[in-house]
């Protein structure tokens, strides 16, 4: 029988290896930007067409490559960073594995132009499916330009797995942000389909963070800096009021390399204990400088997961540094003993206390209770004229008159008490709110304990889903349209969602430079908090987690329903409770919130009696 095991051809082996390194256009962005940084560039341009599917180009003014190096860089495991196994544990560059360019050449059509300062001419290389199609001298500026065209052109199945252009663009912006944030001494630009999204001038780390994450952080960041013999920590962390309900602007860098670490994130969260709610997440951009020998960066193909030799020490230093920064800048609740200037202008304070007013005040029982002995519990006997009103209040009235008066003064909102669920809500239903969170609804042999937030989410979700399927929700124009300033990455998301927002009653228009104007809102939305609702809805949308693949429209509807719903701890009037339950019992289904949690629990009489041992 013939032998079964054979060596894979190079092009197939490269494509398999590329699956680990180049998963989407954003993966190539990361690798090419890091190579440009390693080349010592001071200016790096990223050019994107069709979210990187058609073209992804990185141009830098770095050291460039010779003709031989330009050819060698596309070979598997070809690198200038390590020459022996010892070098692997002293890595200070961004790249070192020698896989990126070989992987890109295996799944795209690549054009490389590169020139060193000392060379008269540069080198042009065209590679397709790991094969060099063309190589010749060319006149180009100093530095390197790599253009990756038609990603996955030779693997249609993998190309089909790419998401929409807007979704892929979000990933590209994320990777661009992570690299650009680490190197504020380098000028970065990002151009997409001919439009410049980023132009990041050389500056300080704080300027770069504000450029990338938004101007609203400018005055709301605390400087973190702690130098020790083992490691150095520096960067910024947000004041408690910047904490969001979803995990958003959180960045950790080790030796300028972006990493993901739930362990170190826990250290930061511990430093914020009792300063922010347990379900909120603070903003932070923290850099750790540590001896490369104490870190293993070669545990993952993308190098975003690393291992520390002693994680507990790093955890303790990070937690202590953040705590120290927050304490140093007095980020703790304080009492303000300065009298508000507006109080001084009140007539009771500014006008003189006349002698007549003094005599009247001194004669009052309240004054005597504070100034004379044995007066604290003395109750002055009221005159008969004062009691007359109270006697009339308790006099019986005829039943017919009382009913007539009740019908005259009570609005009849619930003309049709029957609902799809079979539950009845009318003026005779006794409702009660418990802990400002739950509503008690009695039935014949049980009672329902209804979660007001989950119930309102279900109502809003059904209303908005109906609007998406049928006629859009009515929009009320804003007399003074508020302006919404977004971070560049959030602006990409909002642009994608504008048509869906319009269907749901929000008329939002781009205003240039990552700014939007809210021209109109749903007619039933209370004015004044439009910016907060849109901002937090985008935050919910970004970090929407589900095991089921759902559309962007569905994600937006669920996120908006959660954001607009009545929150836990909100006091409701009896009228509001009746309206909420009436709307809930008309929903189908009415017993489950959009996230799958129940809207109510039912407690039956026999069940309660058993609990009391009856």
pLDDT band at 416 (very low <50, low <70, confident <90, very high): very low
Residues 197 and 217 in one domain: no
Residues 163 and 268 in one domain: no
Q: Which residues pair with 483 in a beta bridge?
A: 517
Q: Does residue 70 belong to any structural domain of this protein?
A: yes
Residues 16 and 115 in one domain: yes
Residues in the chain: 614
- Domain containing 98 equals 10-203
Residues 89 and 177 in one domain: yes
The encoded tokens of residue 476 equal: 């009320």
Q: What is the pLDDT of residue 424?
A: 75
pLDDT band at 378 (very low <50, low <70, confident <90, very high): low
Given 296, 328, 360, the domain boundary residue is: 328
Residues 114 and 194 in one domain: yes
Q: With 80 as the cut, is the pLDDT of residue 87 above it?
A: no
User: Is the bond leading into 589 cis (omega within 30 degrees of zero)?
Assistant: yes
Q: With 50 as the cut, is the pLDDT of residue 398 above it?
A: no
pLDDT tens profile 191-207: 999 888 889 999 999 99
Residues 256 and 134 in one domain: no
Q: Does residue 614 belong to any structural domain of this protein?
A: no
The rounded distance, in Å, linking the Cα atoms of 191 and 45 is 8
Separation of CA 424 from chain center: 40
Domains in the chain, number:
3
Q: Does residue 495 belong to any structural domain of this protein?
A: yes
Q: Which residues pair with 251 in a beta bridge?
A: 285
- pTM, full prediction: 0.69
Q: Which helix (H) or strand (E) holds 122?
A: strand 122-128
Residues 34 and 145 in one domain: yes
pLDDT tens profile 484-519: 888 777 888 888 888 888 888 889 998 877 889 998
59/505: higher pLDDT: 59
CA dihedral 491, 495, 496, 502 (to 10 degrees): 130
Q: What is the pLDDT of residue 117?
A: 92
Q: Does residue 317 belong to any structural domain of this protein?
A: yes
Q: Does residue 592 belong to any structural domain of this protein?
A: yes
Q: With 90 as the cut, is the pLDDT of residue 80 above it?
A: no
- Name the percent of the chain lying above pLDDT 70: 79
> DSSP of 366-435, one letter per residue?
HHHHHHSTT-TT--PPPPHHHHHHHHHHHS---HHHHHHHHHHHS----S----TTS----TT---EEET
**CATH number of the domain to which 92 belongs:** 3.30.565.10
Q: What is the pLDDT of residue 235?
A: 94
The encoded tokens of residue 285 equal: 């951009």
Q: Does residue 385 belong to any structural domain of this protein?
A: no
**CATH number of the domain to which 244 belongs:** 3.30.230.10
pLDDT tens profile 117-146: 999 999 999 998 888 899 999 999 999 999
Spatial neighbors of 385 by CB under 8 A, at least 6 apart, are: none
**CATH number of the domain to which 464 belongs:** 3.30.1370.100
Residues 137 and 157 in one domain: yes
Q: What is the pLDDT of residue 136?
A: 92
477-496 burial, b for 16+ CB within 10 Å, e for fewer? eeeebbebbbbbbbbbbbbb
Residues 195 and 220 in one domain: no
User: Reduced to 3 states, what is the DSSP secondary structure of residue 552?
Assistant: helix
The C-alpha angle 165, 171, 173, rounded to 5 degrees, equals 100
Residues 320 and 223 in one domain: yes
287/301: higher pLDDT: 287
Q: With 90 as the cut, is the pLDDT of residue 60 above it?
A: yes
Q: Does residue 597 belong to any structural domain of this protein?
A: yes
157/321: higher pLDDT: 321
Q: What is the pLDDT of residue 295?
A: 80
Average pLDDT, rounded, for the chain: 80
Inter-residue contact 453 to 568 (CB < 8 Å):
yes
Residues 185 and 235 in one domain: no
Spatial neighbors of 369 by CB under 8 A, at least 6 apart, are: 375, 376, 378
340/182: higher pLDDT: 182
Inter-residue contact 600 to 453 (CB < 8 Å):
no
Given 328, 351, 384, the domain boundary residue is: 328
Q: Does residue 353 belong to any structural domain of this protein?
A: no
Q: What is the pLDDT of residue 172?
A: 93
Given 293, 313, 328, the domain boundary residue is: 328
Mean pLDDT across 549-566: 81
Q: What is the pLDDT of residue 401?
A: 45
Spatial neighbors of 482 by CB under 8 A, at least 6 apart, are: 517, 518, 530, 531
The rounded distance, in Å, linking the Cα atoms of 386 and 369 is 21
Residues 142 and 265 in one domain: no
Mean pLDDT across 525-536: 78
Q: What is the pLDDT of residue 458?
A: 92
Separation of CA 297 from chain center: 28
Q: What share of the chain is helix, strand, coil (3-state, %, to 5)?
A: 40, 20, 40
The rounded distance, in Å, linking the Cα atoms of 109 and 129 is 7
Q: What is the pLDDT of residue 177?
A: 93
Q: What is the pLDDT of residue 82?
A: 59
């Amino acid at each position: 029988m013939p032998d079964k095991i054979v060596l894979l051809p190079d092009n197939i082996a490269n494509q398999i290896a590329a699956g680990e390194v180049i998963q989407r256009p954003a993966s190539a962005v990361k690798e090419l930007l890091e190579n440009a940084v390693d080349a010592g560039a001071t200016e790096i341009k990223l050019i994107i067409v069709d979210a990187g599917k058609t073209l992804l180009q990185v141009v830098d003014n770095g050291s460039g490559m010779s003709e031989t190096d330009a050819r060698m860089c596309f070979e598997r495991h070809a690198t200038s960073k390590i020459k022996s196994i010892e070098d692997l544990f002293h890595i200070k560059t961004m790249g070192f594995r020698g896989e990126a360019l070989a992987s890109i050449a295996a799944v795209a059509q690549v054009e490389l132009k590169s020139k060193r300062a000392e060379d008269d001419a540069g080198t042009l290389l065209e590679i397709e499916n790991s094969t060099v199609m063309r190589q010749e001298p060319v006149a180009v500026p100093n530095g390197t330009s790599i253009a990756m065209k038609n990603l996955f052109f030779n693997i249609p199945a993998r190309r089909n797995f790419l998401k929409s252009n807007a979704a892929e663009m979000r990933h590209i912006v994320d990777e661009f942000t992570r690299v650009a944030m680490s190197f504020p001494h380098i000028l970065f630009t990002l151009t997409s389909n001919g439009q410049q999204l980023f132009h990041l001038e050389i500056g300080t780390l704080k300027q770069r963070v504000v450029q990338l994450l938004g101007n609203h952080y400018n005055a709301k960041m605390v400087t973190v800096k702690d130098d020790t013999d083992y490691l150095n920590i520096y960067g910024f962390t947000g004041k408690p009021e910047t904490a969001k309900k979803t995990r958003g602007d959180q960045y950790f860098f080790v030796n300028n390399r972006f990493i993901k670490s739930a362990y170190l994130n826990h250290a930061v969260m511990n430093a914020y204990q009792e300063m922010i709610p347990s379900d909120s997440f603070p903003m932070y951009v923290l850099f750790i400088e540590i001896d490369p020998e104490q870190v293993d960066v070669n545990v993952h193909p993308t190098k975003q997961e690393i291992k520390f030799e002693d994680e507990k020490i790093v955890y303790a230093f990070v937690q202590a540094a953040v705590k120290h920064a927050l304490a140093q800048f007095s980020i703790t609740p304080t009492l303000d003993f300065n009298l508000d200037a507006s109080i001084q202008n009140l007539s009771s304070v500014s006008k003189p206390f006349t002698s007549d007013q003094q005599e009247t005040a001194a004669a009052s029982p309240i004054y005597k209770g504070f100034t004379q002995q044995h007066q604290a519990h003395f109750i002055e006997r009221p005159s008969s004229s004062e009691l007359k009103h109270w006697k009339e209040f308790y006099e019986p009235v005829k039943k017919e008159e009382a009913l007539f008066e009740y019908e005259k003064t009570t609005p009849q909102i619930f003309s049709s008490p029957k609902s799809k669920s079979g539950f009845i809500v009318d003026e005779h239903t006794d409702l009660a709110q418990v802990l400002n969170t739950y509503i008690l609804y009695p039935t014949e042999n049980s009672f329902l304990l209804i979660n007001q937030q989950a119930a309102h989410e279900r109502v809003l979700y059904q209303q908005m889903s109906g609007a998406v399927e049928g006629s859009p929700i009515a929009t009320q124009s804003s007399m003074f349209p508020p302006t919404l300033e977004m971070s560049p990455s959030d602006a990409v998301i909002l642009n994608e969602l504008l048509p869906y927002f319009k269907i749901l009653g929000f008329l939002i228009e781009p205003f240039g430079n990552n700014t939007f104007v809210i021209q109109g809102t749903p007619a039933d939305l209370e004015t004044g908090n439009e910016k907060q609702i849109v901002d937090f809805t985008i935050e919910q949308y970004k970090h929407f987690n589900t095991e089921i693949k759902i559309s962007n429209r569905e994600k937006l509807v669920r996120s908006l329903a959660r954001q607009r719903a009545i929150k836990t701890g909100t006091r409701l009037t009896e009228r509001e409770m009746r309206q909420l339950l009436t709307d809930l019992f008309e929903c189908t289904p009415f017993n489950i919130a959009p996230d799958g949690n129940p809207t109510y629990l039912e407690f039956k009489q026999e069940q309660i009696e058993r609990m009391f041992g009856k």
